[in-house]
Amino acid sequence: MKTISGGITRPQGYQANGLWCGIKRSGKPDLALIYSIVPAVAAGVFTKNSVIAAPLVVTKSHLRNHRAQAIIVNSGNANCFTGHFGQVYAKKTTRVVGKLLGIRDTDVLVSSTGIIGKPLPYKKIEGALPLLIKGLNQANGAKAAAAILTTDKAKKEIAVRIKLGGKTVTIGACAKGSGMIAPNMATMLAFITTDAAINVPLLKSALKDAVELSFNSITIDNCMSTNDMVTIMANGRAGNRSIEKEGKDYHIFCDALKYVCLDLAKKIVLDGEGATKFIAVQVSNAATPAQAKKACLAIANSNLVKTAAYGSDPNWGRVAAAVGALGWAVKEEDMKIHFSSFAKKHINIYVDLNLGKCRATVYTCDLSLDYVRINGKYN
């Protein structure tokens, strides 16, 4: 596997564009389109929040046939808790995009991110679509990656190349996320493209496994969003023999997809609202994988642990208290806690539970004064 420059348009057959349509008062880009020149097999993973935004309802419906060709994304407005018209506008957006591209509206996925509870300014989006589509090309992947951001400080992109049966296959991706990040899923969006040929069941399985180890293993503020979405399109333009069963090619593809998702997940944590430290929490020797993950999250979501990291104060008692609060039969003399230097930007916290042989890792950041400032004014 080789990491290469670029993002969502590095795989063969993909184009993108991004621009400002008027949603954001700042004038920053707020509308993006990702397009495959041929229909692609597709899969998605979504937030487990019981309150979900209108675009997720529409996208889930469109993905029932496991096929997609375009993704339209706006930032600055979540189109969530917007009543009947939320879904009307989400569906209307896919219909107009499909008509302008000459494809079926059900092959268009839709996504939104931003402020919850404000009506979507649909007319601004509709008015910008012809120009957005006119600017579609392979060189504009970075413009799309910029247009999906909200409180992010930087774009999040990655592309990798692998060999499958002698053919060069590329996976590209972009993501956004800075705050309101918690597992299931960790507000974040991620869009992945690949020119690999792969069947639907294996694509869905590969995405689910990759998300579990990446976007579902990060937390910034333990606040689950209503709009989280990860989608992948595979258009087969690389010309590899289609992956139809688990085997060497499938495992190579899975490893590359996990790498892409984990890279983006870590970039989200590094760009956490007000973050000054990146923290990896590793729990070992738990009784089950689920127990290891739960212990990781208890530590990573502890405000006392996070503020200790911000203050460069290696307070191991806060870690012990976070694990102890879970109510497990963890003996003081058996639990071992180790830290790397809290004075550095990257911090590792190691906890050995001595309850079994399972382990897990979760990534988080510190909690700073800027987090309160940013979210106190987010409207």
CA distances from 352 to 1, 285, 322, 334, 349 (A): 33, 6, 14, 8, 10
Q: Taking a C-beta distance cutoff of 8 angstroms, is the pair 250, 202 a contact?
A: yes
Instruction: Please enumerate, as own/partner, the contacts of 139-143 that have beta carbons within 8 Å and a separation of 24 or more.
Output: 139/9, 140/9, 140/15, 140/16, 140/17, 140/18, 141/6, 141/7, 141/8, 141/9, 141/10, 141/14, 141/16, 141/172, 141/174, 142/6, 142/7, 143/16, 143/17, 143/18, 143/19, 143/29, 143/32
Distance CA 187, CA 34 (A): 20
Q: How many CB atoms lie within 10 A of CB 333?
A: 6
H-helix or E-strand spanning residue 46: strand 31-46
Q: Does the annotation count 187 as an active-site position?
A: yes
- The residues near 355 (Cβ < 8 Å, ≥ 6 apart) are 285, 286, 287, 291, 328, 330, 334
- Phi, psi values for residue 209, rounded to 5°: -65, -40
Query: What residues does 168 pair with on adjacent strands?
Result: 163
Query: Catalytic pick from 151, 187, 226, 231?
Result: 187
- Phi, psi values for residue 121, rounded to 5°: -75, 75
Q: How many CB atoms lie within 10 A of CB 50?
A: 7
Distance CA 131, CA 21 (A): 10
Distance CA 261, CA 259 (A): 6
The residues assigned a catalytic role are 187
